[in-house]
Structure 1
């Protein structure tokens, strides 16, 4: 950029600030200051004045101007965080503030940033990270939505319909799947505003040209704007439904085959590389475990595995969660002792190769354990177990880090997104926010 070293003055709330065009250009084209520059990043001439007047808080402007100069965020004690965030939003500098508060996600460098106590009675059931650093938490029939500043938006109340899963379309819209209530004809899925909680539209299931009530379970989203959900109806609507997330219209349905399980899935995962959907129905929701890959283009199951008929002599070999690892063409599974197992997607013979070196827990299980969950992010594998999240790195999934705190009880769910890890505890209605510290400014 051919930025001139011109100086520029601002009168912010009666206080004069002077800075250089180079510093101001760090705000970016989409900020309030972007239109002050021409296409070559030269300051455009002012007419009649030698300073810009902005009727805003001068103390916050000083903090934000220093952030543009140094890349570091120093907030004086007299400046409330919420006030600074509001001013940063006005100037178009929220992304700069976020980048200075926490860095690019790295599971081995995570630090506990905050903990939030839930506001609903009963245990939390699911937590999902939003794309901008916020999250949403399901408690029974309630969904509580938080922005990246951890300010709570109006809660979403589904009137005693139990929430099964939540998913973010973008920072403004979330999808909620819920149980059907017999005799009410409700349940299914809806698209809601994350800021107001308003229901924007419902996703319907049609069977033999008739709209059916159904229970929606696990959710997944594809890069080409499709929504996938496990579905259970009262007739033959057992399987995986597909909807266009823009129009809300149903565009496909993969029906469950006799002797298999799709409608009761615990996890769905869209695989961009193969254009297939991982569907996992797991113990204890089902008596047996069923894992399959569905190709919707050919309308067939291209890979599958089940423990039906397998000799299970010790309960620890029960699969509790599963996740596909596309780079290694494998599926990782975990049992209740956090042993990791792997299955080769290139092999038609589905068998689990358990990795005993991954065992992290020995001894007696707690009286009310939370079954482990898996997640992938940035080439790292994450597994929750009791009150801890373990981080595995490298092609051999070597344990490299553990995240643990002493308050809140076992972790019942966790989610990664917006460069944060959110961990929901089964007790005290508390969730933790783990962040990577920003790199030092040299």
Structure 2
């Protein structure tokens, strides 16, 4: 590491700045400064200091240099925020700006940062958070993509194919699943550029060496670059397909056993610790709920549960499900936001319902947005009408609520890039929730 006498001089747009290697090292090796200097950040301590010229905005450079010195972000009133973000992108300092702008994600400290009006009122179906704090919003056959500054990129248009699900491979790549149009031979899945909307390649389904048309549904991604999707075709290619995210080639397929509905699955979740995939088909897509764990190593269903043959009431219909690996259990939610838990160590175990967290009593609205679940850094989130509840601790106690009535009920929400995005149904408005940075002492 350099010492204070290792001074560095910059000429940025005609203004002279001096700093030290110690300060520049805070930028990290992936920054422009990391590329400019040697691996050890050692600079010559001769009396003559080399002046490095950078043809960029000097006002923004001053703010970013102060950020590297203090860890604090101060934006003068006469400096546009988007201009600073553009310059931070050039220097490779966006992560530093984001971490100074808001703190690490904490569901109990989230504050509403802003609301964004969508492009198709009343037609929003899904929202997915990107890894860098951006998001994409799907409605009908259109997907609108936003970067972390909420600048909208060119939309992705699937030409009348309804989008079923979306997922981010990285900050520049989005996978979309869509319905096949009868007789058209389209549908399925594709990988798109987040910045341009360009289709990079399609994920094909092959059966007996023939490419088949299919409808792709729920998506999930694994840490070893596998992509999973529920697939429903015209013949016997029903089940869960597996593709390589990098090449787009199909590498495996799990055909559904008789009596199950893997091809219609609403929810997929890859369990990193067990190398299994959670597959859930939920009401109201099907009259009965199916939840299973698939092990692709030996093509077996290692755990399963269904409500077939059990007395079902409206209070017990499962609307969403999520696996919690740390407790070896699956959490489900009904339309009253009762949480239920199933022990994965017991095959076909019963649901242990808990009403301690119930927030709403009475019937759902005539056009309901069904509750959804998310698990993030040990906190459990559940949407209900126009609010999101946060549960913590071993007993999943309700600890806070996020509420924003503008735009109607929440039809979907997603967490990523240290942000929570909530999509409202009536006005296609989505809210952005962030954790306030710690106070400066």
- TM-score clears 0.5: yes
Instruction: Note if contact 1:122-1:140 (Cα within 8 Å) is conserved in structure 2.
Output: no
**Contact 1:4 1:42 (C-alpha < 8 Å) held by counterparts:** no
The aligned counterpart of 1:321 is 320
**2:335 paired with 1:336:** yes
Deviations 1:360-417 (A, max 9, x none): 1123432322100000110111100111111111111111111111211111001111
| 1:391 paired residue number | 390
Q: Secondary structure at the match of 2:27?
A: coil
Specify every segment of 5 or more residues in structure 2 that has no aligned partner in the other structure, as ranges.
none
**Structure 1 residues 36, 213: CA separation in 2 closer, same or farther (over 3 Å shift)?**
closer
Match of 1:275 in 2: 275
Q: Secondary structure at the match of 1:263?
A: helix
Superposition pairs of residues 98-113 of structure 1, within 5 angstroms? 98-113=98-113
Q: Residue deviations 1:283-325, cap 9 Å, x none? A: 000010000001111111111000111112x311100000000
- 1:237-262 per-residue CA deviation (whole Å, 9 max, x = no partner) reads 11111111111111111111111111
Q: CA RMSD in A?
A: 1.6
| Structure 1 unmatched runs, 5+ | none
When residues 38 and 206 of structure 1 are mapped into structure 2, their CA distance, relative to the original with a 3 A threshold, is closer
State the match for 1:413 in structure 2. 412
Describe the SS at the equivalent of 1:87: helix
TM-score (norm. length: structure 2) = 0.96
Equivalent residue runs for 1:147-186 within 5 Å: 147-186=147-186
Q: Which residue of 1 aligns with 2:360?
A: 361
Contact 1:71/1:441 (CA < 8 Å) preserved in 2? no
Partner of 2:144: 144
So what's the TM-score if we normalise by structure 1? 0.96
Is the alpha carbon distance of 1:330 and 1:394 closer, same or farther for their aligned partners in structure 2, counting shifts above 3 Å? same
Q: Select between 130-139 and 205-214 the one with higher mean Cα deviation.
A: 205-214
Conserved? CA contact 1:4–1:43, under 8 Å? no
**Map of 1:62 onto structure 2:** 62
What is the alpha-carbon distance in structure 2 between the residues aligned to residue 77 and residue 318 of structure 1? 53
Q: How far apart are residue 98 of structure 1 and its match? A: 1.0
CA distance in 2, matches of 1:268, 1:256: 14
- Residue 344 of structure 2 corresponds to 345
**Displacement over 6 Å in runs of 4+:** none
Q: Could you tell me how far apart the structure 2 residues matched to 1:271 and 1:43 are? A: 47
Q: Distance in 1 between matches of 2:201 and 2:319?
A: 33
In 2, distance between residues paired with 1:39 and 1:233? 54
Q: Within 1, Cα distance between the matches of 2:329 and 2:231?
A: 26
SS in 1 for 2:241: strand
The farther-off stretch of 148-157 and 113-122 is: 113-122
Change over 3 Å in CA distance of 1:318–1:338 after alignment to 2: same
Q: Could you say if the C-alpha distance between residues 39 and 255 of structure 1 is closer, same or farther in structure 2, counting changes exceeding 3 Å?
A: closer
